[in-house]
A = this chain, B = another copy of it.
């Protein structure tokens, strides 16, 4: 069906189109890449490629442009992920190393990705469901009010103010805190509901109402925040890319947490790249945009995902290299802190 030369032609078309943003014709191809054949031959190959839906022409007398299917083939079989330069790697490292807490790690990662790829960067906070408890703190604020602070092993901190049904002395709070921590230390967040079930039984009866209130807030926190937190940046790069049409749709999609999460896609292997090209992606407002995403995590556990979004016409090898590298570094930083 597709012999080697046709594939070479497709690759050349994608590369040229990405770099020039103009439909590429047979003559230009023959000139710029030395394929060793004449424009006429290339035309025949192009006709075949078009026949099979890998490329298309915007209008009769124009050059060819890759279709989503064409990009897909390019990404799957015709390109190699381009590793970052040494300077870039070092830049990543130093830039991320300066972060002092999780918020800052995530914020810097967004900036980094956006700058590196000149695209819109999207980073998901380390998932609560896949984290575990590092510490639970109960801080008395007033006689009948405490603050519940949950610290996870990924450095994420959730806090919630709780109004208690009755006053409770500080030492009893200390006891409650001790019991809770004894139960939950290192416990995966998804196991928390089962694990705390027997906490009230270990407490003196008079503390149980307060404990019940606190526990219910704790569980609520886990449920509500199940909807993951996600952050993006680099939208200025959108304006530079030329898809003036649809820009509004893209911005809207970005502000919808839910859409954004679905965009990052499902997990495959850790730091395995997911590429969604144009119409492949689940949201109609994003025709014309592609997503390159990867999971990141510490050790071998994937904690969340990150990626970039840009025009279908993007430099996939470079972008994929950048996303993969950043995902790895973020994982390392997270493991180290």
Contact = CB atoms under 8 A, between A and B. Distances in A.
Interface of A: 100-101, 134-135, 137, 139, 141, 147, 149, 151, 155, 157-161, 224, 233-236, 238-240, 244, 247-248, 251-252, 254-255, 337
Contacts of A251: 235-236, 238-239
B134 A100 contact: no
Nearest to A159: B157
A247 B252 contact: no
Given A239-B247, A248-B239, A251-B239, A157 B161 contact: no
Contacts of A155: 161
Which residue among A157, A240, A251 has the maximum number of chain B CB atoms within 10 Å of its CB?
A251
B141 A139 contact: no
Which secondary structure dominates where chain A touches chain B?
A: mixed
A232 B323 CA distance: 25
Contacts of A233: 255
Contacts of A158: 101
A234 B252 CA distance: 8
Contacts of A159: 101, 151, 157
* Copies of the polypeptide in the assembly: 2
Contacts of A224: 100
A149 B161 contact: no
Given A157-B159, A239-B251, A240-B248, A151 B135 contact: no
Given A235-B235, A235-B255, A252-B236, A151 B160 contact: no
A135 B147 contact: yes
A252 B239 CA distance: 10
Nearest to A153: B141
A107 to B, nearest CB: 9
Contacts of A247: 239, 247
Contacts of A235: 235, 251, 254-255
Nearest to A246: B239
Contact of A157 (B141, B157, B236): B157
Contacts of A151: 139, 147, 159
Residue from A100, A134, A160 with most neighbouring chain B CB atoms (10 Å): A100
The 10 closest A-B pairs by CB, nearest first: A239-B248, A236-B251, A236-B252, A239-B247, A235-B251, A157-B159, A135-B139, A236-B248, A137-B137, A239-B251
A126 to B, nearest CB: 15
A157 B150 CA distance: 12
A251 B141 CA distance: 41
Contacts of A238: 251
A251 B251 CA distance: 11
Contacts of A161: 101, 155, 337
A223 to B, nearest CB: 12
The winner among A134, A235, A244, A248 for most chain B CB atoms within 10 A is A235
A149 to B, nearest CB: 6
Contacts of A240: 248
Contacts of A139: 135, 137, 151
A11 B70 CA distance: 56
Nearest to A233: B255
A170 to B, nearest CB: 11
